[in-house]
Structure 1
């Protein structure tokens, strides 16, 4: 049930600046809060304890924007902290986060938000409308060296207007439905996130934009305050980072949807570069949880003595999270790969289906399109990933001039160039998958070499556009984003246009898509964009994993049911974070281990949201 209030337009107009006045405000506004949706956390949750986990490499920056921030800990400072509102993970309705309620203008561009006056930054400062005004300057500044954010907050967000200390109006450049406006404003990775002006005070500001001219260098390893429950407490460069809870008096707990969540007091990430070594640390009790998504881990290696003795439990939970773009991104700016026939050949010579069946035990599913899956009407109904057909690949390669087979079985052209490309990837356990693609590609006369680049450095390598083929899956929102991946202005380093694709036709489609208000027309444009991606062979559609699988020591607890439709990771403090640590159970378990006492093995399967 929606909670609704009326606010006279006279009061709003008196407080609004000129930009919002131009929106022709209605006589009254209907304020919505949706405060009666079902809860998904458990009242049995307990506060306290330290979650011990790991990461494969130390982040190259602590900044949430700018160079290298995508591969760092941005999710702690941006993606996983409160927005103005968020989707309920099961019903999909918008529920309060930093805003207590919101209302829509009749112009289909403006949304009004009443901020929660109890909201605080992790350093204790109040969150006010001024932080949103500063946010606009921050994201539009060239000093942050982040073209994507510069564009989004210039060409998507027209203005943010302060009505009073705790009321703002946000105006979109394009007209949208109410739901689309809320999606654009509250996107996890790039939604309107207040920025703490008191923290980002510039020392040097020759541009007079309120942002330090040396922003990137100055804040490279400075931990910024957040509105979330955790702040970065300790940093041991190259070794570990520790986040600490603000405390049980965190402002968010006044919101019923945040109660009984974010229950652990600390989270310690230890750098363990080798996954097998990390798994051994986990099985010794040095880490509390370990991901078991890899088929080899779940089916083979998660059966050691700690599992058999019931000290470690296994969990497999299905979700309905939107699948982002991904697979093999083909860098069209590299020699030979600028030829559509070569890209077509690479596509038909890549055996993802065989990889899923033979290497991944059939656990994963194939993405029907390189731009992802789960966007409803935005996805073409006829999207289907190209099958592995080496004969078809050979025909395309021959059209590109590679019509001879060399002594090593790899195709060559008249100039003696071999048909050889490197696949860049950043996770050592993926090596068998890439190796499978390599062996299968030989059947079409294509050589694929393996370019393993350590951890976060792999994404940096791809951002700098050094790759031939990039084995990457990106996150995705419910409304597909195309500008960052496919627009010509982003065919340059430090952007997400991993294919380096340039096309006036595509640019026109994307620009029209971004401006279109009519839902049917917008979805039709989305279909056209996806068709160009397919026709130009830009991304070989990869696989998707619509579930989480995790091993955990038996002192970790979670609600029943554990999963929601949007739970991507059960034991993460930047996801829904409904789990907790039972310290008494931990003491009892450790005591039992010393005495040789065992428990029944436990494997939990939560398939409530299996598609």
Structure 2
């Protein structure tokens, strides 16, 4: 999903760090007096942004997903090894030719208004996602379903021809265009969650308001004070049993210094660490770090001159020294010129344009801009966040120093930025991507010509064909070769994007938080979290589980 980077990494100014030190709330004061008397029935977490939407057919960002994944359940869910396991579907079966997948639903799953969840709710949700009128960016997620693309693109008008059908209240049949080995992972994701047709019809655009929203997950949304907080209450009738905490309060906290201060004074149970603070907390029992299946890239609008010239794009890619990024962000980021992240099948660090200033200058000259002469000022757009600003200023400096090219930075609020990507794509823009499921198709399918999340105005028929082939290929050697060729096209041959680095999670978690499992997909599953009296000694580490990345 699109990564609103401000939610995951925050720049912490030295001045802000000095203020915290002076205020006595640095780590020497960790676990202050308010921890000892805190309410152990309520989990409190900060969000860096208002969720753009809680309509899971339209949501594309990780802040919306963090909320929705605790309000809703789908057919499948991930276990601690990030493998799909039963959720609302108690089991599933593939046909012999692997082109039909049948899900068999539990009979004890209910919506918060008491109605049972049925296969018809899934059929309606999937067809709503695909309906052209919905204009869902994630519609492409289901394009492996028979006639899904044709319906979404308007080539066919009858939704009954789409290959998803409720055979009964408890049986959902999915017909695929081709064998798709990872499809049970797709059904863990929010856009495949069931929906109530009657609720949406009754309330229209207001169906996600707390007083109207009907959900089926471990928590229920009971309050949404915009730009302040969201309050979730445990669902007493959740099919897996009641959650371990009564309430979850998600505060909108836009400033990194404020979040860390609230954590240190016991007002939050978890906090994302800003880069400058990481060295001071590293090694403390409440500090957690984990590499993530998330990438950070700069994209081009290939319809905007001079970025319609591949030589210009290649020159800009060769002019960036990615090795300096971890020194700037201080969070253990992994510089990379390839796109599939480390820890995911298909990762190949040898692919991508490496730092080569002489080659960059040669390419720019061959495009008609020797020594940068005559090159227009580059507009670089990013969503407002100090860390994104740090990276933009770094890239700006690299292009100026190595190519004599000037970049103008354009910071925009997250919702405004997302809208501009759709209606007036900037010449150069920053985006991130976090895994929706742990398969390379999720990263590579992002840039196919039919992807609603492809903002590059780029398409390559060979690339599209390779991604389709890779989705069906079961031989690991052949599949690796397919993704190697596709990454070469994306990052080198066409240089449609400049991949910069892979992300790392750096957080503080209070010792009384139990059952919170950190994982490479940064899934925020709260249904198993409990709060206990603050433990002592080594017990502080027992409440947090870690799911490591594959070392490859």
**TM-score computed with the length of structure 2 as normaliser:** 0.78
**Is structure 2 residue 173 aligned with structure 1 residue 182?**
no
1:451 aligns with one of 410, 416, 438 = 410
- Could you tell me which residue of structure 2 aligns to residue 84 of structure 1? 75
**Alpha-carbon shift at residue 581 of structure 1 (Å):** 1.6
The alignment partner of 2:199 has SS state of coil
Q: Which string of whole-angstrom CA distances, capped at 9 and with x for unpartnered residues, describes residues 396-445 of structure 1?
A: 111111114xxxxxx232xxx43534242332233333322222222221
**Is structure 2 residue 195 aligned with structure 1 residue 195?**
yes
Do 1:63 and 1:74's aligned partners in 2 also have CA atoms closer than 8 Å? Answer: no
Q: Counterparts of 1:388 and 1:290 in 2: how far apart (Å)?
A: 35
1:140 to 1:230, Cα distance in 2 relative to 1, 3 A: same
Do 2:103 and 2:172's aligned partners in 1 also have CA atoms closer than 8 Å? Answer: yes
Q: Counterparts of 1:80 and 1:384 in 2: how far apart (Å)?
A: 40
Do 1:229 and 1:245's aligned partners in 2 also have CA atoms closer than 8 Å? Answer: yes
**Alpha-carbon shift at residue 317 of structure 1 (Å):** 4.1
Mean alpha-carbon deviation: is it higher for 146-155 or for 96-105? 146-155
**Alpha-carbon shift at residue 354 of structure 1 (Å):** 1.3
- Could you tell me which residue of structure 2 aligns to residue 149 of structure 1? 139
Q: Which string of whole-angstrom CA distances, capped at 9 and with x for unpartnered residues, describes residues 190-226 of structure 1?
A: 4x322223322368xxxxxxxxxxx5x4547566322
Do 2:278 and 2:330's aligned partners in 1 also have CA atoms closer than 8 Å? Answer: no
Do 1:115 and 1:128's aligned partners in 2 also have CA atoms closer than 8 Å? Answer: yes
Do 2:166 and 2:173's aligned partners in 1 also have CA atoms closer than 8 Å? Answer: yes
Q: Counterparts of 2:489 and 2:144 in 1: how far apart (Å)?
A: 27
- Could you tell me which residue of structure 1 aligns to residue 90 of structure 2? 100
**Is structure 2 residue 251 aligned with structure 1 residue 270?**
yes
2:320 aligns with one of 325, 350, 358 = 350
Q: Counterparts of 1:354 and 1:436 in 2: how far apart (Å)?
A: 9
Q: Counterparts of 1:71 and 1:609 in 2: how far apart (Å)?
A: 21
Q: Which string of whole-angstrom CA distances, capped at 9 and with x for unpartnered residues, describes residues 237-296 of structure 1?
A: 22221122113x42123xxxxx8xx4222222222222222222332332222112x431
Q: Counterparts of 1:387 and 1:338 in 2: how far apart (Å)?
A: 21
Q: Counterparts of 1:601 and 1:275 in 2: how far apart (Å)?
A: 28
- Could you tell me which residue of structure 2 aligns to residue 29 of structure 1? none
1:278 to 1:420, Cα distance in 2 relative to 1, 3 A: same
1:269-418 residue pairs with structure 2 within 5 A? 269-292=250-273, 294-300=274-280, 302=281, 314-318=286-290, 323-356=293-326, 358-361=327-330, 363-376=332-345, 378-379=346-347, 381=348, 383-404=350-371, 411-413=372-374, 417-418=375-376
**Is structure 2 residue 453 aligned with structure 1 residue 496?**
yes
Q: Counterparts of 1:297 and 1:578 in 2: how far apart (Å)?
A: 29
1:496 to 1:421, Cα distance in 2 relative to 1, 3 A: same
Q: Counterparts of 1:61 and 1:362 in 2: how far apart (Å)?
A: 29
**Alpha-carbon shift at residue 80 of structure 1 (Å):** 7.7
Do 2:433 and 2:443's aligned partners in 1 also have CA atoms closer than 8 Å? Answer: no
**Alpha-carbon shift at residue 474 of structure 1 (Å):** 0.6
Bigger radius of gyration among the two: 1
**Alpha-carbon shift at residue 344 of structure 1 (Å):** 0.5
**More helix per residue: 1 or 2?**
2
The alignment partner of 2:454 has SS state of coil
- Could you tell me which residue of structure 1 aligns to residue 531 of structure 2? 581
- Could you tell me which residue of structure 2 aligns to residue 122 of structure 1? 112
**Is structure 2 residue 426 aligned with structure 1 residue 467?**
yes
Do 1:367 and 1:373's aligned partners in 2 also have CA atoms closer than 8 Å? Answer: no
Do 1:117 and 1:166's aligned partners in 2 also have CA atoms closer than 8 Å? Answer: yes
2:50 aligns with one of 29, 52, 58 = 58
> Which segments of 5 or more consecutive residues in structure 2 lack a partner in the other structure?
1-38, 149-161
**Alpha-carbon shift at residue 454 of structure 1 (Å):** 2.7
Q: Counterparts of 1:98 and 1:607 in 2: how far apart (Å)?
A: 25
- Could you tell me which residue of structure 2 aligns to residue 160 of structure 1? 164
1:181 to 1:488, Cα distance in 2 relative to 1, 3 A: closer
Q: Counterparts of 2:83 and 2:443 in 1: how far apart (Å)?
A: 25
**Alpha-carbon shift at residue 517 of structure 1 (Å):** 7.3
The alignment partner of 1:125 has SS state of coil
Q: Which string of whole-angstrom CA distances, capped at 9 and with x for unpartnered residues, describes residues 537-593 of structure 1?
A: 1121221235x322234432347xx65xx3555xx7x336543222x449xx9xxxx
Cα-Cα RMSD: 3.6
1:568 to 1:146, Cα distance in 2 relative to 1, 3 A: closer
- Could you tell me which residue of structure 2 aligns to residue 240 of structure 1? 229
Do 2:295 and 2:433's aligned partners in 1 also have CA atoms closer than 8 Å? Answer: yes
1:478 aligns with one of 434, 438, 442 = 438
**Alpha-carbon shift at residue 118 of structure 1 (Å):** 0.7
Mean alpha-carbon deviation: is it higher for 390-399 or for 336-345? 390-399
**Is structure 2 residue 401 aligned with structure 1 residue 434?**
no
**Is structure 2 residue 196 aligned with structure 1 residue 229?**
no
Q: Counterparts of 2:40 and 2:540 in 1: how far apart (Å)?
A: 24
**Alpha-carbon shift at residue 460 of structure 1 (Å):** 3.4
1:587-602 residue pairs with structure 2 within 5 A? none
Do 1:423 and 1:448's aligned partners in 2 also have CA atoms closer than 8 Å? Answer: no
**Is structure 2 residue 525 aligned with structure 1 residue 557?**
no
Q: Which string of whole-angstrom CA distances, capped at 9 and with x for unpartnered residues, describes residues 498-538 of structure 1?
A: 32213344344445555667776555443332221021111
1:125 to 1:606, Cα distance in 2 relative to 1, 3 A: closer
1:149 to 1:458, Cα distance in 2 relative to 1, 3 A: same
Pairs aligned (count)? 492
Do 2:219 and 2:234's aligned partners in 1 also have CA atoms closer than 8 Å? Answer: yes
Do 2:47 and 2:253's aligned partners in 1 also have CA atoms closer than 8 Å? Answer: yes
Q: Counterparts of 1:575 and 1:102 in 2: how far apart (Å)?
A: 23
**TM-score computed with the length of structure 1 as normaliser:** 0.71
**Alpha-carbon shift at residue 126 of structure 1 (Å):** 0.7
Q: Counterparts of 2:135 and 2:209 in 1: how far apart (Å)?
A: 16
- Could you tell me which residue of structure 2 aligns to residue 43 of structure 1? none
Do 1:161 and 1:168's aligned partners in 2 also have CA atoms closer than 8 Å? Answer: yes
Q: Counterparts of 1:601 and 1:449 in 2: how far apart (Å)?
A: 51
1:62-77 residue pairs with structure 2 within 5 A? 62-66=54-58, 69-70=60-61, 73-77=64-68
